[in-house]
Amino acid sequence: MGTENLAEKAQILIRSRLCSPNFIFKPLSDSPDSNYSKLKFIISSSIMEACNNSILLLGPRGSGKVAVLELVLSDLLEEYPDTITVIRLNGLLHSEDNSALKEIARQLCMEHHLLFSKMASFDDNSQFMIAMLRECGLAHKTVIFALDEFDLFAQGKQRLLYSLLDAMQTVTSQAVVVGVSCRLDADQLLEKRVRSRFSHRKLLFLPPSKEDVQRLLEHILSLPMDSSLACDYAAEFNEKLQSILADKRFKEIISNYLNSNSTTNHLLRFLFIAISNMDLKSGFLSLENFKAALSSIQRQPKQECIKDCSILELYILVCMKRLEVREQNSYNFSSVMKEYKSVHDSFPTSDYYAQNVCLRAFEHLLQRELICFADNRGHTQSIEFRQVKLVVSYAELQEGLKSYRSCPAILLKLIDR
C-alpha cells in the first residue's frame, strides 16, 4: 500500500500545482524580456519615481495575464511592503460605475483600517477616492488599480475610467492603472477624453512557444526530490516522466491538442485530466493517461447530440434540412410536419407518428439546442407556429447520421438528395 499512498500524495501535489497560477508562471518569468520582467519594471519604476502610470495587458483568454500580474504584485508587495495599496476590480462584477466606486472605497477602507459606509453615495465615494489618492500621493504611497476584464469598464459612459485617470492627471497622486483584457482593441474602445489621459503602454501576451511548453511540462509534472515524498519514488517517477516527455507519440498528442488553442490554461486543463487519470496502483504516469485525457477533452458536442437523438428526432432534423436545401428559408413546426408527411407518403415506413408525438420530439430538439427559434419575438404564439432554424450544418448532420448505430437507410438516402 506504500506506493498507493505515495502516488496519492504526488497526485495531490501536482493537482494543487495545476490550480495555482503563481507556481506555473514562475519559470516563464525569469528571462529579462518576459512580460513579467517588463511589467515589474514599469510598475516598480513608477513606484520609485513616484509618478502615475497606466498599462494594458492584452492577450487571449487563459494566457496568464492575471497570473503574471498577481505574481508581480506579490513580489512588489514583498519588496515595498508599506508603500503599495492594491485595488482589484473585475469588469464582470464592477462594470457599473456605482458598484465599482463602492468597491474601490471598500478596499481602500479595508487597506487603511477605516470605517466603510455602505450607504455612501456615488459622489461621496468618488470624493473619498480622490481624497485618498491625494493623501497617498502626499505620503508617497502608490495605489495600484488592477482592472480585470478591462473592456467591460469601457462600456457605457466610462465615468469610472475618466474619474480615475483624471484624478491621476490633476492631483499629486501616485497611482498605476493596470488593465487586463482579452480584447486586443481594448484601447480603441475608450472615449476620446479617456484615451487622451491614458498612456498607451501595452503588453501583449502570446501563447507559449514549443520550448516553453516543454519546460512547463517538466516544471509542472516532475516531483521535487526534497519533499515529504520518498526520494526513490520521486526519482523513479521523474525518470518515467522523462521517457514519456521524450516520446514521439506524446509530442504528437500535445501538438495535436495545442493546435486548436495553445494558451497555457488550455494546456493545464489537459494535464489536469491526465493527472486525474493516473493509475494509483502503479503510481506512475503513462502515455495512456494522456491519450485518454485527449479523447475526453476533445469532444464533438454536435455529434454527441445527434447520437442522443431518437429515430423520430432524426426524421425531423432531416425534414428540416430538406426544407433548407430547397431554399425555403423560413419554416416552422407545421411546415416541417407537412414535409414529414410528404416524405412518408413517398416512402412509407413504420416511423410515422401522430402530431403530438412529433411535437414532443421537436421540443426535445429545442431543449438540446439542435434547433432554435429564429427570432425572440412571438412568445404568444404556440410552438407549432414559431419560426425555427437548424443549428447543425449539413456536414455535421450527415456525419452524425452515418455514425448513428441503427440509422434507417431511408434517412441517409433522404439527406443525400
Site for another protein in 340-369 (CB under 8 A): 350-351, 353-354, 356-357, 359-361, 364, 367-369
Among 94, 141, 197, 321, binds another protein (CB under 8 A): 94
Among 50, 109, 297, 407, binds another protein (CB under 8 A): 297
**Nearer to another protein by C-beta: 96 or 124?**
96
Site for another protein in 254-273 (CB under 8 A): 265-266, 268-269, 272-273
Site for another protein in 17-76 (CB under 8 A): 18-20, 61-62, 66
The pairs formed by 294-298 with CB atoms below 8 angstroms and a separation of 24 or more are 294/253, 294/256, 294/257, 294/270, 297/257, 297/269, 297/270, 297/273, 298/257, 298/260
Q: Is 122 near another protein (CB under 8 A)? A: no
Q: How far apart are CA 14 and CA 356, in angstroms?
A: 54
| Minimum CB–partner distance for residue 287 and another protein (Å) | 17
Q: Is 196 near another protein (CB under 8 A)? A: no
**Nearer to another protein by C-beta: 70 or 212?**
70
**Which three three-digit cell numbers place residue 265?**
490554461
**Nearer to another protein by C-beta: 346 or 382?**
382
Q: Is 205 exposed, middle or buried (0-12, 13-18, 19+ CB in 10 A)?
A: buried
Q: How far apart are CA 415 and CA 396, in angstroms?
A: 12
Report CA-CA distances (Å) from 162 to 147, 174, 193: 14, 16, 7
Q: How far apart are CA 268 and CA 15, in angstroms?
A: 10
Among 1, 259, 301, 409, binds another protein (CB under 8 A): 301
**Nearer to another protein by C-beta: 213 or 271?**
271
Q: Is 3 near another protein (CB under 8 A)? A: no
Total residues interacting with another protein, rule: CB under 8 A: 68
The answer to whether the beta carbons of residues 166 and 194 sit under 8 Å apart is no
The answer to whether the beta carbons of residues 252 and 32 sit under 8 Å apart is no
Q: How far apart are CA 166 and CA 173, in angstroms?
A: 11
Closest CA to 364 of 383, 348, 350: 383
Q: Is 2 near another protein (CB under 8 A)? A: no
Q: Is 291 near another protein (CB under 8 A)? A: no
Q: How far apart are CA 293 and CA 273, in angstroms?
A: 5
Q: How far apart are CA 91 and CA 246, in angstroms?
A: 42
Q: Which residues bind another protein (CB under 8 A)?
A: 8, 11-12, 15-16, 18-20, 61-62, 66, 90, 92-96, 99, 103, 106, 149, 265-266, 268-269, 272-273, 276-277, 296-297, 299, 301-302, 304-305, 307-312, 330-332, 334-335, 338, 350-351, 353-354, 356-357, 359-361, 364, 367-369, 380-382, 384-385, 387, 405
